[in-house]
């Protein structure tokens, strides 16, 4: 990029104004763009944090929902917003981790267009079965699938969702072959499982927990290397089928790429403080998720690792959302 003499002359004059704006931040409400409709997990957990930030800051934090297009239009709007700390974006496992590998015409760069702030929550996934399903353990299920490759149906929340790619990752790592049945979201899929129309599903703990507790679904294994507090006796896929296996949904916060580092650090510190409170952690656990605060550097490394993991899976399974 060529820097013109005019830009060099103008820059010093702008620096005092920029410094003044940053020192007084926030002087007006801060918005967080959520790339999904109200009521979805990313929206619910972002609003929890937004409410707490509103109590800490002298200005309100408002949530703006922009659903549709696998979250791409909302992320594009966030990437193009002024990098002044007044627009934040809820980045998720789908919009930041998966979309770069499944959308051929993605209107943003998940790594270069955003300044990571902190992850907010991890939403563990798990394998569930209808209560009448004959396999009582994940090992028994694996034996059934190996004996009947591609015949046993398993529901997902839709193509290229974290639930779908978790199944593809399991197939890639273990050689198991299911017949994946896609639904338009977790709700329709788990309704069909409860009704006995589909025997298995990969779903989130947040969505499946009420069905498990009510005896309408049976949990087989968590898609994590470690057990989850909500179901401490449930084994993991990592300890039973493939060591290190991990697949989860997640929601974090990012800002436009050129947002001043001091503002990013302040937001991150406040988010980490909020998520470090026991009352907030317990509230998130009760909703089927796990608080997962981190520094901007930690969240940046996590996002990069997620992009690499799901790129391998998407390429191996030929998962695409367009073209």
Q: What is the dihedral of CA 91, 93, 96, 97, to 10 degrees?
A: 160
Domain-located, residue 19:
no
Domain-located, residue 20:
no
Domain-located, residue 4:
no
Same domain, 227 and 150: yes
pLDDT value at position 107? 97
Same domain, 234 and 174: yes
CATH number, domain containing residue 95: 3.40.190.150
Same domain, 182 and 134: yes
Whole-model pTM: value is: 0.88
Last residue of a domain, one of 216, 240, 264: 240
Same domain, 286 and 210: no
Q: Which domain holds residue 299?
A: 29-122+248-317
Q: Is 114 helix (H, G, I), strand (E, B) or coil?
A: strand
Size of the chain, expressed as the number of residues it contains: 323
Residue 222 half-sphere exposure toward CB, CA atoms < 13 A? 25
Beta strand spans in 183-306 (E)? 200-204, 218-222, 248-256, 290-291
DSSP H or E segment with residue 54: helix 41-56
Per residue of the chain (323 residues), give pLDDT as tens. 333 333 333 444 444 434 444 568 999 999 999 999 998 899 999 999 999 999 999 999 999 999 999 999 999 999 999 999 999 999 999 999 999 999 989 999 999 999 999 999 999 999 999 999 999 999 999 999 999 999 999 999 999 999 999 999 999 999 999 999 999 989 999 999 999 999 999 999 989 999 999 999 999 999 988 999 999 999 999 999 999 899 999 999 999 999 999 999 999 999 999 999 999 999 999 999 999 999 999 999 999 999 999 999 999 999 998 74
Domain-located, residue 24:
no
Same domain, 261 and 295: yes
Q: What is the dihedral of CA 269, 274, 275, 277, to 10 degrees?
A: 120
Please report where in the chains the tokens 């998962």 appear, as a residue.
319
pLDDT value at position 322? 74
- Cα–Cα distance for residue pair 267/35, rounded to 1 Å: 20
Domain-located, residue 2:
no
Same domain, 231 and 297: no
Same domain, 219 and 130: yes
Last residue of a domain, one of 224, 240, 256: 240
Same domain, 136 and 210: yes
- Cα–Cα distance for residue pair 260/213, rounded to 1 Å: 46
Under DSSP, the state recorded for 3 is P
Contact 165, 321 (CB under 8 A): no
Domain-located, residue 79:
yes
Domain-located, residue 168:
yes
Domain count, the chain: 2
Same domain, 191 and 235: yes
CATH number, domain containing residue 215: 3.40.190.10
Same domain, 114 and 85: yes
- Cα–Cα distance for residue pair 58/306, rounded to 1 Å: 35
Q: What is the DSSP string of 135-201?
A: --SHHHHHHHHHHSTTTSEEEESSTTSHHHHHHHHHHHHH----EEEE-SSHHHHHHHHHHTSSSEE
Same domain, 168 and 236: yes
Same domain, 64 and 136: no
Domain-located, residue 8:
no
pLDDT value at position 256? 98
């Amino acid at each position: 990029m060529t820097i013109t003499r005019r830009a060099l002359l103008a820059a010093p004059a702008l620096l005092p104004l920029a410094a003044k704006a940053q020192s007084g931040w926030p002087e007006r409400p801060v918005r967080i763009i959520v790339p999904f409709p109200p009521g979805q997990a990313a929206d619910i957990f972002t609003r929890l944090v937004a409410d707490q930030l509103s109590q800490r800051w002298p200005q309100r934090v408002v949530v703006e929902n922009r659903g549709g297009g696998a979250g791409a239009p909302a992320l594009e709007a966030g990437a193009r917003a002024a990098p002044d700390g007044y627009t934040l974006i809820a980045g998720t496992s789908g919009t930041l981790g998966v979309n770069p590998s499944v959308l051929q015409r993605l209107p943003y760069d998940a790594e270069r267009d955003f300044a990571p702030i902190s992850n907010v929550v991890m939403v563990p996934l798990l394998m569930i079965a209808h209560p009448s399903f004959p396999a009582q353990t994940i090992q028994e299920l694996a034996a059934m699938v190996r004996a009947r490759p591609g015949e046993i149906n398993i529901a997902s929340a839709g193509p290229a969702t974290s639930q779908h790619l978790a199944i593809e990752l399991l197939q890639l790592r273990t050689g198991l072959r299911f017949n994946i049945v896609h639904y338009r979201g977790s709700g329709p899929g788990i309704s069909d499982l409860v009704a006995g129309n589909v025997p298995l599903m990969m779903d989130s703990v947040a969505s499946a927990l009420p069905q498990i507790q009510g005896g309408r679904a049976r949990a087989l294994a968590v898609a994590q290397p470690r057990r989850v507090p909500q179901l401490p006796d449930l084994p993991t896929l990592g300890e039973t089928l493939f060591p290190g296996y991990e697949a989860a949904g997640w929601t974090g916060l990012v800002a436009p790429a050129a947002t001043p580092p001091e503002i990013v650090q302040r937001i991150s510190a406040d988010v980490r403080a909020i998520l470090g409170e026991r009352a907030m952690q317990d509230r998130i656990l009760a909703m089927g998720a796990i608080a997962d605060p981190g520094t901007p550097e930690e969240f940046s490394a996590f996002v990069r690792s997620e992009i690499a993991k799901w790129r391998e899976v998407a390429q191996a399974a030929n998962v695409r959302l367009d073209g």
